[in-house]
Structure 1
Amino acid sequence: MDTDGRGRRGAAAVTRDDGDTAAYNRRCARYRALMAERGGDDVVLSGGLRVPAHVWGRLFPYQRTALRWLWELHQQDAGGIVGDEMGLGKTIEVAALLSALRHSRLLRATLIVAPATMLSHWVRELHAWVPDMRVMLLHDSGHAMGARGMSRSRVIRKIQDCGGALVTTYDAVRLHAAALLPFRWSYAILDEGHRIRNPEAAVTVAAKQLRTAHRLILTGAPIQNNLRELWSLFDFVFPGRLGALDVFDKQLAQPIAAGGWASASPMQAQAAYRCAVVLRDLIQPYLLRRLKRDVNAALPDKTEQVLFCRLTPHQRAAYLDYTRSDEVQEVLRGDRRAFRAVGVLRKCCNHPDLLLRDSPDRPADYGHWQRSGKMRVVAEVLRLWAAQGHRVLLFCQGRQMLDIMGAFVRARGYTHLRMDGTTPVKARASLVARFNADADVFVFLLTTRVGGIGVNLTGADRVLLFDPDWNPTTDIQARERAWRLGQTKAVTIYRLVTAGTIEEKIYHRQIFKQALTDRVLADPKQRAWLKMRDLRDLLTLDEPDDGGGRRGGGRGRDGGGAGTETEAMLRSARLPSGMVVADEEGVSSSSSDDGGDSDGGFDA
């Protein structure tokens, strides 16, 4: 099966929001009858919030803590960031708050902004947790605007009049701000709220003009690249809390960043520590951040490994030719911007045929897996996982590489689905539901920025990230799609990185950015291990040594040992030739490079 959401088999019905008044009234009647039958006393929180017994009883203890915290913010007329780790149920925590506020007659119209892929998810959760709240989509995929043809203004007015929930996208907030801004909202809730991390972006400016005292952001990644992004999020939920941006940048962000480099002086490190403590104390009351390991979420085990793969001879020749080209020399002289050069090298790491996609020299067997080091690893890993009965999420950054991957899995006869940026929003929810429900679907091919945001894909127990993103949070979000509430099997996550290339340097920078996040949100004393690198380092190839390892080494998330400088235990498993493994805990080891096959003992 080859379903990508673009053809007939990928078609899906519109999301059943409450554009149909009769259907909404029937649901409300069923809910009232059920409540009369169940009975039960409300749970009353300090300050008078009445939580329906059936809502309170369905929450985990840590979600009840979140509900209390959200109620405290409500009483202060303050906003906040629900920054729990991905997969802990942030949507449920907010839905429970809305249920309790509505039950306590403290809620008017609510605006919820989410990525397009998440719209149907929000409708389902609100119908489940607040059945008597009318929910409508300000989007063509919804029943109100799609099937019934309501205008935007009519949808907004209906929600305002009934005190319901309007669910829409970030693009709609940007494009239709004039229709949304005149109204007051009881709550404005931004799911995946790091979308407003750029203070100058049009969507950020529009969101910050929404008329409400109660503003919430849901994000598992409050900091993605730098501390200016955290400032932008706080400027939405609590304007003025972190001061003006230029002052924040000068007095807090820059000292913290400068003190994080391994080459920082003792004075810089001490200044960074003091600033990180100040910033942590400023944000702590208004940012709720729990990790899965902290809340006893009863999740199965998760194993994460980074697999460092060798370039094939074909890739290596193409990579070196380009690094020696006039174009790269112009970049190094500052005569040309580096964006295209970085893109070319990343394509080469994925598959050298991507460089010939639109060329007369395009090979007849375009995309053959033997010409890509990472594809060779994918071929072996998928073969083993299929034999062992696992189900897989396979993420690529771009659609061109996903096309090659799609052709490969079809040739191998693997049953699969596909979802990328061209998949209609109306089809995405049905593809996700189909994968989770149909155990015969072996692999789900996804682009990282579409399939890695918000969706629940617990039908898989294996995750393969084919190429790294500059933003570590993008990769983190993708790999957490399977390891979340509802998962019953142990999850294994493999991240593929081509050793010695630009991909390994991207991976290094991911670790540095994660260290910056941890410094503010977890441990102000944390130091980054990475030293500043220049553009020349980024655009060169670090040749692997003769022992199957690599120069420069890889590191786990905690910045542990590196490459040939680390005395690491070799895996008992025989890995595909030329592969190096680095645990997320920082232990690295290289396989033997004897060219033997990898049957038996491969830790899949």
Structure 2
Amino acid sequence: AAALAAAGGDKKLARRKMLRDCVNDPKGVVLTTYEHVRGALRDSLLSLRWGYAILDEGHKIRNPDADVTICAKQLQTVHRIIMTGAPIQNRLSELWSLFDFCFPGKLGTLPVFQAEFAAPIQVGGYANASEQQVVTAFRCATTLKDLIAPFLLRRMKADVNIALPAKTEQVLFCPMTSDQREAYRAFVQSRDVEEILEGRREALSGIDVLRKIVNHPDLLERQTKATHVDYGNAERSGKQMVTMKVLSLWREQKHRALLFSQTQQMLDILEAAVADAGYVYRRMDGTTPVQHRMRLIDEFNSDENVFVFLLTTKVGGLGVNLTGADRVLLFDPDWNPSTDAQARERAWRIGQRKEVTVYRLVTAGTIEEKVYHRQIYKEFLTSKVLRDPKQRRFFKAKDLADLFAWEEDARRGGDDGGDGGAAIETAELFAEVEGELRAADFERGDGAASFCREEEDGEIADATNDDDPNGAEKNAWDPSAVPGSATTGRNARKKHAPGGFRVADAPSSISGGDDGEGDAAIMRSLFGGGGGGGGTIRGAMNHDAIVNASGGRDHLVGGSAAAEADRVAR
């Protein structure tokens, strides 16, 4: 304000004076934004020599061709530091872009990096890759990890002394209503999809239609029916029915919640439903003025009468502290796993004193389940480079047609063309992982929910249910066990599963330690028990168990395979 007054109200003159004063001060520090680096301060910042350039949220320069990336890399300094929680979000070229800022040339040019690292690692990460592709990917990932290790300091929450409460994160697989199934069937069989597969129409437009259908079919007619009294009726959306049931139970248990959706249009529908239910809420999305956002955040954190905060994932998922909530519901998955993770971190962070539960809603058998699988594949890819190149492989390489494929449940194991009897694709895919949650796991037994227990020898014994749920015909993204392994179905459940969900790992809210009034009671209700009427979900899985599933060892990697990888890499 003083600089602005001294400059007679001229903002440009005030910025130049402040910058000049800072440069002349031996201890001067310029704190600015990425927008100013590529905008108002571009010429001034790029013309000076700096002692250090430090980029917070450095993944902002993950796109090598973005204007902000080009500007940042032109800063005149030899000391460069990036801080980020997501060095890889969608593809390995993002890691190259970050390193090209810190250490230009270390990973070669982008075309060379793509050819020698990114492409081989990606191809070799699929379950249907050849042995040569697998060992080449292992060698390339090992080499890349060794190249970046001296310049990368990676710390997870578990690595530092942060006394965070426990977190439970589950994926709830929701059914479609009859309206949704009819709309979904009509679109995947339409001429529009044929044109997409023929390359005469943009695929993203078709994907957007499918995602609207699984969120709420009324979104397809929003322009003409948004003012209709019945617009957004929860009875026409499987996920919305689950959402309202979960919110009702959370409210009864005196929890406070964050509800995230990808789009403002879906948030409009959810807001109307929340208002009709009589809940006190706040909302923040891309249209919320910046100067009003902190007030909304403070109101939610300080006023316990505010039950739920409605947010779009991109706006509410970055740089926001919402520890007033201890429950998080992600209504729809994002292609970028970091986006959903950032949304979750708004509640599970320093300052949180309660155990946190996160529900991810996924409409089973649809585009959303495929999006979720892509998220997990990207997580595995990140782990392969940053943590351990010896990763198990679950996903097969698929083409564009897979995104628009839909095998109706009656042909996958259902009896009536509905959603009730078919196996869940993700459960089939991760059959060897102790991550699937069944209705029997939440049955009352001496006042507590029943879970698989861990034996003293480290093996897992199922205390409640030995039925094999994986008898249905396999669909897109077919499960692929580690080649050479015959432990699937019932036998696989007896093996120790890295990252598996065991009662010893479960917070009291889900393991029944609060007399059944926690998440166990909610899951019983969602599975159809606890007096809650018919079940509203088709199944559930422990998200952390899935993410940690890649921690096993691939039998094609190691020993003579490593030597073969050396030969192939040359």
TM tier, shorter chain? 0.7 to 0.9
Partner of 1:574: 525
Q: Answer yes or no: is 1:490 the counterpart of 2:351.
A: no
Maintained 8 Å contact 1:414/1:443: yes
Q: Answer yes or no: is 1:156 the counterpart of 2:62.
A: no
Maintained 8 Å contact 1:436/1:460: yes
Give the gaps of 5 or more residues in structure 2.
415-419, 437-468, 472-488, 494-500, 502-519, 527-534, 548-570
Q: With structure 2 as the length reference, what TM-score do the two structures score?
A: 0.73
Deviation at 1:534, TM superposition (A): 1.8
Q: Taking structure 1 as reference, are residues 559 and 553 closer, same or farther at Cα in structure 2, changes over 3 Å only?
A: same
Q: CA RMSD in A?
A: 2.7
Mean Cα displacement is larger for which, 461-470 or 292-301?
292-301
Q: With structure 1 as the length reference, what TM-score do the two structures score?
A: 0.70
Letter aligned with residue 581 of structure 1: A
Question: 552, 568, 571: which is aligned to 2:425?
Answer: 552
Partner of 2:543: 584
Partner of 1:38: none
Q: Answer yes or no: is 1:357 the counterpart of 2:225.
A: no
* 1:416-457 deviations in Å (ceiling 9; x for gaps): 111111222222223222222222211111111111112221
Maintained 8 Å contact 2:433/2:546: no
Partner of 2:462: none
* 1:485-529 deviations in Å (ceiling 9; x for gaps): 111110000000000110000001111111000001111101331
> Across the two proteins, how many residue pairs are aligned to each other?
448
Deviation at 1:578, TM superposition (A): 3.7
Q: Taking structure 1 as reference, are residues 208 and 303 closer, same or farther at Cα in structure 2, changes over 3 Å only?
A: same
Letter aligned with residue 262 of structure 2: Q
Partner of 1:105: none
CA distance, structure 1, for counterparts of residue 237 and residue 211 of structure 2: 12
Letter aligned with residue 444 of structure 1: F
Partner of 1:512: 377
Question: 388, 395, 398: which is aligned to 2:263?
Answer: 398
Q: Answer yes or no: is 1:465 the counterpart of 2:333.
A: no
Maintained 8 Å contact 1:396/1:446: yes
* 1:222-244 deviations in Å (ceiling 9; x for gaps): 11111111000011112122121
Q: Answer yes or no: is 1:332 the counterpart of 2:197.
A: yes
CA distance, structure 1, for counterparts of residue 146 and residue 546 of structure 2: 34
1:289 alignment partner, SS class: coil
Q: Answer yes or no: is 1:252 the counterpart of 2:117.
A: yes
Partner of 1:108: none
Partner of 1:456: 321
CA distance, structure 2, for counterparts of residue 245 and residue 316 of structure 1: 44
Write out aligned runs for 1:15-30 (5 A): 19-20=1-2
Partner of 1:410: 275
Maintained 8 Å contact 2:172/2:537: no
CA distance, structure 2, for counterparts of residue 504 and residue 401 of structure 1: 18
Deviation at 1:408, TM superposition (A): 1.3
Deviation at 1:189, TM superposition (A): 2.2
Maintained 8 Å contact 1:557/1:584: no
Partner of 2:497: none
CA distance, structure 2, for counterparts of residue 509 and residue 364 of structure 1: 37
Maintained 8 Å contact 2:435/2:541: no
1:378 alignment partner, SS class: helix
Deviation at 1:557, TM superposition (A): 13
* 1:133-190 deviations in Å (ceiling 9; x for gaps): xxxxxxxxxx999x97633434433443444443333222222322321223333222
Deviation at 1:197, TM superposition (A): 0.9
CA distance, structure 1, for counterparts of residue 267 and residue 192 of structure 2: 27
Q: Answer yes or no: is 1:174 the counterpart of 2:38.
A: yes
Maintained 8 Å contact 1:558/1:584: no
Q: Taking structure 1 as reference, are residues 201 and 309 closer, same or farther at Cα in structure 2, changes over 3 Å only?
A: same
Mean Cα displacement is larger for which, 533-542 or 300-309?
533-542
1:221 alignment partner, SS class: coil
Q: Answer yes or no: is 1:239 the counterpart of 2:104.
A: yes
1:526 alignment partner, SS class: coil
Partner of 1:104: none
Q: Taking structure 1 as reference, are residues 424 and 212 closer, same or farther at Cα in structure 2, changes over 3 Å only?
A: farther
CA distance, structure 2, for counterparts of residue 302 and residue 395 of structure 1: 18
CA distance, structure 2, for counterparts of residue 356 and residue 225 of structure 1: 32
Deviation at 1:577, TM superposition (A): 2.4
Partner of 2:243: 378
CA distance, structure 2, for counterparts of residue 174 and residue 310 of structure 1: 46
